[in-house]
Structure 1
């Protein structure tokens, strides 16, 4: 049986945000850190050579040989509270660089104390290097295999990041939202975050405030908070969240609908569409969702177009739902979309929806297609057809010269 889905693929600050994996902390494979004095013992007991920095007093640069395979534990002393801000900054930059590779993330995954220190820095006020610490957490959380280690190192990480996200004065709220969006893709962390939201409702740190922040572009002057969209989409995997969103007294869906056309961010737009798609499992969306203004343009993002089609497909699970979609003239719109659609996978999704709308009604006892128990032999046949469809899609993409994902 289908279930509510998480949002788009995880975000990586190194890979997904256009930032390079190396930072100013890396120079020719060496970690450069500001320290007091001309010679200093590093965490590993190795003496560091002081290099003149032009700073006043006996301050210099400690240059320690450190490739990607350097013990991550050596960075820990420089990340702890009480260390000078410039030392923390360079250490945080090096950790961020490590999170840009599989080997670097694997190295950090086994360092629970370092992960805890990184989490502390991510929510620490200036002059702590909160931005780089937060971006390192984004990259770590983009790997589902590291979620357990992150949450074990700091069980309060979701709640602490949520407080930062909902603080209208926190400058790195976007980064905090991206960490939560990555963490909440998996059902277990998503449920844990949901529990924090419900507990925090009386403290105005709950869903109501999250939705308010998402629907208010000026909520934080320093952070656009686009990643609240994917975060809410992931949270809507939970039935309690869908119940909240569809509560007619709250009018949340009506507030979200304008964001399906939000021009400044496909991330925000896609997250809202994903949220509405998951809400379609409840088949209780208000009439507002059925109508669009006459000047509405087609959604430019193919992934979002596909999610919109999937949302309508969910609404066709019941006979009344199918009839209502037909009555709205959806077939004509979908036919034109199919003729125009350049992306093969979106076109296939469109074809499936059209087949549901124009096909014969299922026999009695199969009123809700989401609840139909499919025999094992039929399920195997359907899986075989899906595999064949994917092969044909891959071939079509190769013929177009498009990259395979």
Structure 2
């Protein structure tokens, strides 16, 4: 790493009034440092360099701005840099200001940085608070996200994961679930947004987080929101169901065409199933989902699915859908107090299940290698 004198000299080159070629070489060097963990950790101890990078995102040279953003994306991917970037480099006001500009060409980098910084709860809260302080509000982020072509120079797909991260917080979920704002209804169509897996996954993650607030389940499943078809349709395939099964389904899931395809991303499929499982936590939720014939969709999905972790999630949901109702006093599965010994038993079972899944994956890889000895088998884990 740099000596103190070298660091001081390099920092002197990272000024707005410095010659462009000198600045360019300095930002290029910093970008190189952020390409590995050791370099990132070194810069963690140099808040002045972080501040300089944020300042130079407003440089007249596009090449320099690009290098700065690339470096900040790398730095924000390292959790240990979150506090220095937010507290010492004061990155958030600049990022939010630039995000609001519909002509800003680096808005995708901005949304990626904000997503990285909001991944963990501590700095997620800082990001949420900065939203309020900048008088931007979560409402504005949702509006930008839902306005197709808000920025002609950026896709803004990473605002989806940003919303998902923010809904770790009860305050953000409260806003999304406000019955007067109709926010969640605006987000639902993006569960089938074909142009971006990032945007789709972000919205599904947001819905899953919101479903941890079981007090809203009945409203979410009611006609006022009608969340169920938006969660089930990506999981439904072209299989032919019986007349009786079709008639019990929500209208959007009845008699699907022969070319109907399922969600291609296994992580999103797993999140969709986890969201459905959360909606079965209450007696009313289970009742509605049974009445809406969720089981036949999941039965056919289970036959089709190949990813072992998604299959495991599907089986847990099916067990709830076809199982007996819990005993009186245990109807709300989120309020049941599990004895410590039993909870540890569940954890052990989960660990054993994950071990078996991993074992099956390795066996599949071995079989694939034996079938095709001259090729490298595709890794099943994402």
Which band: TM-score by shorter chain? 0.7 to 0.9
Map residues 1-400 of structure 1 onto 2, 5 A cutoff: 74-124=9-59, 126-127=61-62, 129-154=64-89, 156-201=90-135, 205-282=136-213, 283=217, 284-285=219-220, 286-291=224-229, 292=233, 293=252, 294=256, 297-400=261-364
**Against the structure 1 CA distance between its residues 123 and 242, is the aligned structure 2 distance closer, same or farther, given a 3 Å change threshold?**
farther
Which structure has the highest strand share of the two? 1
- Give ranges in structure 1 of 5+ residues lacking alignment: 1-41, 46-70
Per the TM alignment, residue 250 of structure 1 is displaced from its structure 2 partner at its CA by 2.1
Is the partner of 2:35 in helix, strand or coil?
coil
Q: Determine the C-alpha separation between the residues in 1 that align with 2:204 and 2:107.
A: 22
Which structure has the highest helix share of the two? 2
TM-score by length of structure 1 reads: 0.78
CA RMSD, 1 decimal: 2.1
Asked if 2 retains the 8 angstrom alpha-carbon contact of 1:88 and 1:128, the reply is no
**Against the structure 1 CA distance between its residues 326 and 272, is the aligned structure 2 distance closer, same or farther, given a 3 Å change threshold?**
same
Is the partner of 1:250 in helix, strand or coil?
coil
How many residues are aligned here? 335
Q: Determine the C-alpha separation between the residues in 1 that align with 2:4 and 2:128.
A: 41
Comparing 229-238 with 129-138, which one deviates more in the overlay?
A: 129-138
Asked if 2 retains the 8 angstrom alpha-carbon contact of 1:262 and 1:269, the reply is yes
Q: Determine the C-alpha separation between the residues in 1 that align with 2:133 and 2:180.
A: 21
TM-score by length of structure 2 reads: 0.82
Asked if 1 retains the 8 angstrom alpha-carbon contact of 2:77 and 2:116, the reply is yes
Asked if 2 retains the 8 angstrom alpha-carbon contact of 1:72 and 1:108, the reply is no
Is the partner of 2:211 in helix, strand or coil?
helix
- Give ranges in structure 2 of 5+ residues lacking alignment: 234-251, 366-378
Q: Determine the C-alpha separation between the residues in 1 that align with 2:86 and 2:140.
A: 24
**Against the structure 1 CA distance between its residues 378 and 121, is the aligned structure 2 distance closer, same or farther, given a 3 Å change threshold?**
same
